[in-house]
Amino acid sequence: MLIWNRAKILYIKKINWHLCLIFAAISSQPILTSMTWKQVFSSSIGRKLTMGLTGIFLITFLIVHMGINACMWAAVYFKDDHGEMFNKAANFMGSMVVIRIIEFGLFFFIFLHIIQGYMLTVYNRSKRAVGYAVDYGSKGSKWYSRSMGLLGTLILLFLIIHWLHFWIPSRFTGVEEVEYNGVKMHNMFALMQTTFQQLWVVILYVLGCISLGYHLAHGFQSAFKTIGVHNKRYQTMLTGLGYAFAIVVPFVFAMMPITMYLGWVK
Amino acid sequence: MEHYNMSLHLKVWRQNNSRDKGHFENYKVDGISSEMSFLEMFDVLNERLITEGKEPIAFDHDCREGICGMCSMYINGKPHGPWKSNTVCQLHMRAYKDGDTIVVEPWRANAFPVIKDLMVDRSAFDRIVQAGGYISVNTGNAVDGNSLPIEKDKADASFAAAMCIGCGACVAACKNSSAMLFLSAKVAHLALLPQGEPERKKRVVSMVAQMDKEGFGACTNTGACEATCPKDISLSNIARLNQEYLIASLTADK
């Protein structure tokens, strides 16, 4: 400790900054040798890790959600489908035990992503008490990379309306039923048709998808950087893949209410 | 390039000490040569202020050749001014034209309290380096360079990270006031070399803990730091830091 103090004195006197580092190195300066999980996940990198890992989980969920919903377009190609393929796919997802268990995980991760996201935004904003008169703005970064909190909030507002439209009726308040080969199931296709007859709902869903697109444009590649992908080869690939994902997935989602509203899917 | 003189309107942040609220003050400077550096322009202004019996503007500077990392001015919304890969001392007045208005502010971050005017206390960076940015070797004569072979790619990547001069522009540019680019450069340059191997895990854990303690924010990968860095430190160093931290935490002894 004496050596460390000596180093500090040297440092304060600014006698020799390099000498000070050598003193620090050989002295008994306390250096962490162990880490609790709490320490890991409450550190600035750990908080980001939570965002990145939950984000990647939600990205995989989007693929599944998009795939199931895309079954609605079977009604365009098969004249006698009338939403049968979509209803069966939705019923499979809603009735399978494993999927229902994963659904709990999904909600847990969604809320973890939301809560940690807000906490991180507040944490980061608190680090600059006095702001700049002239903002750095978009001179060094994309606007959507700096607006993840705002985009996330727009997605959350959309999600609440989306849950009220489909998830709550399906799980709690009930949906009109339809029978295929003696098996009764929710007619989610009919519910979609009714919901997407209103123009304001369609516009809201499209706006929700645009917010999701911009959120993914930054979030996708950022999540992989956060979990430590630093190789140039993968970073280039993941950035390209991220932009493609951010355009394709929200576009496919947005086309669902649009095609229903325009009467292309019956 | 043709030489010309110019008159400029300066809006400079003045603050007596860390407790003072601070304010902007307007100055008009005439006869500024396009061949002067930005700091020389401030020298001209300060000479005039001293002659007028006023308090000169305090600003940090040392080598004035872009390698010490002391100069730190946030000019018209960008750390180190408009030029890319450049420090304030290497910014020349030919970047401006006659009649321009220039707003000059100090680095803004809670971890960098203003000492006076445009000077900020960046000792938080020193404490982060002290927490682990070193290697434990017995000192003595310099070891022969060829006694420890290091592949060229790694040596180059390490050197590119070691280029960091610790000026703090990354913190100033970051919307979260995060010091992650600085820290990642310090961690990466040692993690890439065999000399850095013994303390590899302890280093990243201690340095991240110290960074959080100093009051810097968390990184959100916006890339503003990389865009403003005078030494072009790559953002991929942050991803490397994340990997180092993840490995250290997953393989911690207890």
pLDDT in tens, A9-29: 444 444 444 444 444 444 444
| Residue B168 and residue B240 share a domain | yes
Indicate which CATH number applies to the domain containing B40: 3.10.20.30
Q: Domain residues of chain A, as ranges?
A: 1-31, 43-125+144-261
Residue B152 sits in a domain whose CATH number is 1.10.1060.10
Q: Which tops the pLDDT comparison, A9 or A162?
A: A162
Q: State whether B155 and B111 are in the same domain.
A: no
Digit-coded pLDDT (tens) for A71-89: 999 988 888 888 899 999 9
Same domain, B129 and B72: no
Give B139→chain A minimum CA distance, Å: 9
Chain A residues 170-199 with CB within 8 Å of chain B: none
Please identify, among B75, B99, B116, the residue that sits at the C-terminal boundary of a domain. B116
- Return per-residue pLDDT of chain B as tens, 254 residues: 689 999 999 999 999 998 999 999 999 999 999 999 999 999 999 999 999 999 999 999 999 999 999 999 999 999 999 999 999 999 999 999 999 999 999 999 999 999 999 999 999 999 999 999 988 877 788 778 788 889 999 999 999 999 999 999 999 999 999 999 999 999 999 999 988 988 899 999 999 999 999 999 999 999 999 999 999 999 999 999 999 999 999 888 77
Interface touch B78/A135, C-beta < 8 Å: no
| Burial grade of A186 (CB within 10 A; 0-12, 13-18, 19 or more) | buried
Mutation choice for A interface testing from B114, B220, B233 by most A CBs within 10 A: B220
Name the residue among B239, B246, B253 with its Cβ closest to that of A33.
Answer: B253
- Contact assignment for A146 to B175 by CB distance below 8 Å: yes
Contact pairs from chain A to chain B, CB under 8 Å = 182
Query: What CA–CA distance (Å, rounded) separates B65 from B78?
Result: 19
CA B207 to chain CA centroid, Å, is 17
> Same domain for B105 and B176?
no
The total number of structural domains that make up chain B: 2
Domain span at residue B34 reads: 5-116
Q: Within this chain, do residues B172 and B156 fall inside the same structural domain, yes or no?
A: yes
Average pLDDT, chain A: 87
Helix (H, G, I), strand (E, B), or coil: what is residue B224? helix
pLDDT value of residue A33: 55
**Do residues B32 and B80 both lie within one domain?**
yes
Q: Tell me which chain A residues have a C-beta less than 8 angstroms from the C-beta of B224.
A: 136, 140-141, 146
Nearest to A145 among B129, B222, B236 (CB): B222
Residues 106-165 of chain B with CB under 8 A from chain A are: 108-111, 126, 129-136, 139
Look at residues B116, B132, B151 and tell me which one is the last residue of a structural domain. B116
**Structure-block tokens of residue B59:** 């600003």
The secondary structure of B101-164 as a DSSP string is EEEEE----TTS-EEETTEE--HHHHHHHHTT-S------SPPPGGGS---HHHHHHHHHHHT-
Angle between helices B236-250 and B180-191 (to 10 degrees): 70
**Residue B252 and residue A127: Cβ atoms within 8 Å?**
no
Q: B14-38 burial, b if ≥16 CB within 10 A, otherwise e? A: ebeeeeeebeeeebebeebebebbb
Residues B72, B152 within the same domain:
no
Residues of chain B with Cβ-Cβ distance to A137 below 8 Å are 77
CATH class of A43-125+144-261: mainly alpha
Task: For residues B110 and B132, state if they share a domain.
Answer: no
**Backbone φ/ψ region at A241: left (φ over 0), alpha (ψ -120 to 50), beta:** alpha
The string of DSSP letters for A24-58 reads HHHTT--------HHHHHHSHHHHHHHHHHHHHHH
Cβ–Cβ < 8 Å for A50, A26: no
Q: Is A169 within 8 Å of A175 (Cβ atoms)?
A: yes
Are residues B81 and B13 part of one domain?
yes
Among B116, B148, B163, residue at a domain's last position: B116
